[in-house]
Amino acid sequence: MVSAFTQWTLDVHDVDRMAAFWSAALGYRIDRGDDGDAHLWPPDGGLSVWLQPTGVPKKGKNRNHPDLVAADGDVEAEVSRLLALGATRADVGQRGDEGFTVLADPEGNEFCLLHRR
């Protein structure tokens, strides 16, 4: 028997803002929880996202992060779309020749857009 990934959980300050960002970025449906959280569901039944409220500030670089791919393969267009949704470019020490672009969501949580699968 083995375990399998089923959900990515992220502590956030502004659940509404972050749910809007991540649901638009991923094309997921938002279910609001009774205790101020939000669960984001993919259309294909894959990995879900749970946004739970916290008052604790983020400190430093994330020790883990999601890696995304542009569904249609157009990395430049996807970076532009994510930036328009509220992402920002992030510097975590990359050299510039990596096979990914580092971005951060509206609360500064880093994620990567891979240039290829």
Over the stretch 79-89, which tens digit does the pLDDT of each residue have? 999 999 999 99
Q: Are residues 21 and 51 in the same domain?
A: yes
Give me the domain span that covers residue 42: 1-55
Tell me the pLDDT band of 63, cut-offs 50, 70 and 90.
confident
Q: What are phi and psi of 70, to 5 degrees?
A: -75, 120
Q: Are residues 40 and 78 in the same domain?
A: no
What domain count does the chain have? Answer: 2
Tell me the pLDDT band of 45, cut-offs 50, 70 and 90.
confident
Contacts of 57 (CB under 8 A, 6+ apart): none
pTM confidence score: 0.93
Q: Are residues 30 and 78 in the same domain?
A: no
Q: Are residues 71 and 31 in the same domain?
A: no
Q: Are residues 66 and 37 in the same domain?
A: no
pLDDT at position 117 is: 72
pLDDT at position 97 is: 87
